[in-house]
A and B are shown apart, each in its own frame.
Chain A
């Protein structure tokens, strides 16, 4: 009759296998707790790892969308403040034109009003050539140079492109980063800068009926104020659109962060509990191995 059903080396091999397996499982859990991540390499969970890569890519590209949105916001804010200045200037020009249309004024007084109007018009040309956050023409579309150039006669000519460039905001959305000069300075067949120059010239002696010229210019100045205010509304709407997409992007970013921790993060409480369980089992099997290994018949036979 055999005493035990196993050989000494089989006993040791089995004990070694079992304890090594327990130890390596405990170490895996320890690694998860240490890194805070369930995955140390893709093969730990290929599907989750692939999802994490896609999320990481979306995160990284979304940061660039945010920086584009910031740039567009800066440009649109610059455009907005320039348009306010335009509105102030046009309002002042209308005041002056109203004065000039008054029949009690002498031509000399009209001429001085004309000089002030010419100054206002010059500052409007300057405003129309404002620079954006990266130093390009704010109202020149995609122009590499000035938005408006003055010819020899002092006429302002638009030198920019037909439309301002679009900036992508992510998820296929985009925003136009500014307005072009003609979008708010030209209305109907009127070019505001040109008609202001005509008025200033007329008041300064270029016309035989300066009072009539001032009266007829009043309409186009009112329409110009309307056009600039409309431009401000457009800019405001674009800024609101950027806010909306930024909010959406932030929400999506939070969703992604949540998914990332769901997919790749480790649940600390349950992992620690599992580790504790593993350690208890490991200690128990080490203790029982010690006892069994110390059991030798040779000690008993004397």
Chain B
């Protein structure tokens, strides 16, 4: 077998063209999300000599082996893992911030202090109409502030559950997409550009999925991916082309739980986990606020029944309702505040029962309990924000590390462009030489 200079040069020119194409593709996708830098794998084509022809020169040039996708599987896994942690912390902090705003910015603490103050002011003149009216009005403000707080908390919970449901839909959508990618990967030829595109798609889908829920990916020899929720022994989310279905249920207190194909599953990171944690804090805060409201209602109403109002009639409950949401003012007339002890005459200035009311309220300590409720949630926000920032930094570093390795470096592509252009020109020159040689032989006289 012999060599053919012209066909060697042709294969060289072809390989250089392919390399130039890939370089151009890299440059074009330098800022495409999820694009992994490609390079061309080249190998020499030569034949071994047969029996008795070991001295033969049989060179056939070069061929394109395939397109290599320069993705580091470990760094990709790190990006997914740290991204899921960061997404969980971020979702939790955002939810907690909403809870904090609902409790703090509705001014429920200030309203409680004003109600206490109005009662304290009434001590100075228990029969004064304007001071009594001020107690009723500050009570009404207190009740409606509690109502607003409860509805703000409910709205925050509703928003979180809506987002969580959207996250669940996203997970199902992305898992379905991955099942389709798996199906197509099974059919794509090895190392083809088609397969590289599918792998890009697969990795980008995995990254988006891990933002919602933590998954462990295992890659099969045919480059398809299987997914389990949580660790490598967790419930299977995706096996080949069969995708599981994630579902969400909300409990009465607003907390959420997830099921995968009917079986309970608890994600430990990802936005879904963060939203679940925020909803748990929300349920706890809601319970605290309800307890404070119920404490005020019980303390005031019990003390009321122990005394007589301005007209000498037995005291009636001032507040209606049993929690923050339904707390309301039952009386509109300041005269109904039972400041005098039982048995006192009408218009009595004896403030014994008002003293008992204030003592009962001080024992219930609504201001102190609200303060600790606000403190609980705000210190949770402060603590989790530190965690979130740390996890964000870690996730950012992992992302940059992956990009540094798998992303396109334009300077390097510029050099490749020159290098492969030169290679192409050199192969052309070889063709010229082949032609010259042929001409030399033809022109022998």
Contacts and interface: CB of A to CB of B under 8 A. Distances in A.
Nearest to A50: B375
B345 to A, nearest CB: 7
B139 interface: no
A301 B125 CA distance: 92
Interface stretch (B76-84, B113-121, B196-204, B279-287): B113-121
Contact of B37 (A7, A64, A298): A7
Nearest to A16: B396
Closest 7 pairs between A and B when the two form their complex, measured CB to CB: A7-B407, A42-B378, A43-B381, A10-B403, A46-B379, A297-B414, A142-B349
A7 B403 contact: yes
Contacts of B117: 60-61, 63-64
A50 B399 contact: no
A167 B124 contact: yes
A180 B406 CA distance: 93
**Could you tell me the dominant secondary structure of chain B's interface residues?**
helix
A45 B399 CA distance: 31
Interface string A7-51: 111101110010000000000000000000000011111110110
B354 to A, nearest CB: 11
Contacts of A65: 120
Interface of A: 2-10, 12-14, 17, 41-47, 49-50, 53-54, 56-57, 60-61, 63-65, 67-68, 71, 134, 136, 142-144, 161, 165, 167-168, 296-298, 301
7 contacts: A6-B404, A14-B400, A42-B377, A60-B117, A134-B125, A136-B349, A168-B123
A67 B124 contact: yes
Contacts of A143: 349
B120 A7 contact: no
A68 B126 CA distance: 12
Contact of A301 (B127, B374, B378, B414): B414
Nearest to A71: B124
B113 A61 contact: yes
A10 B407 CA distance: 7
Interface residues of B, number: 55
A8 B345 contact: no
B351 A165 contact: yes
A25 B237 CA distance: 41
Given A63-B117, A143-B349, 10 more contacts: A6-B403, A6-B404, A8-B409, A13-B399, A42-B104, A43-B378, A44-B382, A46-B378, A167-B124, A301-B417
Interface string B355-385: 0000000000001000110110111011001
B350 interface: yes
B348 interface: yes
B154 interface: no
B374 A68 contact: no
B226 interface: no
B410 A167 contact: no
**Could you tell me the dominant secondary structure of chain A's interface residues?**
helix
Contact of B120 (A46, A61, A161): A61
Contacts of B299: none
A67 B121 contact: yes
Nearest to B127: A144
A91 to B, nearest CB: 33
Contacts of A67: 121, 124
Contacts of B345: 144
B411 interface: yes
Nearest to A141: B349
Contacts of A167: 123-124
B97 interface: yes
Contact of A5 (B110, B378, B404): B404
A34 B117 CA distance: 31
Interface string B392-412: 000010011001111111111
A49 B376 CA distance: 12
Contacts of A42: 100, 104, 374-375, 377-378, 381
Given A49-B378, A71-B125, A167-B124, A43 B347 contact: no
A8 B27 CA distance: 10
A142 B355 CA distance: 15
Contacts of A57: 109, 113, 116, 367
B100 A165 contact: no
B418 interface: yes
Q: Name, among A8, A9, A63, A297, the residue most crowded by chain B CB atoms within 10 Å (CB to CB).
A: A9
Contacts of B382: 43-46
B390 to A, nearest CB: 13
Nearest to B109: A53
B349 A13 contact: no
A8 B374 contact: no
Contacts of A47: 375, 379
Contacts of A68: 120-121, 123-124
A49 B374 contact: yes
B30 interface: yes
Contacts of A45: 382
A4 B415 CA distance: 12
Contacts of B120: 61, 64-65, 68, 168
A107 B400 CA distance: 119
A8 B399 contact: no
Nearest to A142: B349
Q: Name, among A4, A8, A13, A301, the residue most crowded by chain B CB atoms within 10 Å (CB to CB).
A: A8
B31 interface: yes
B411 A296 contact: yes
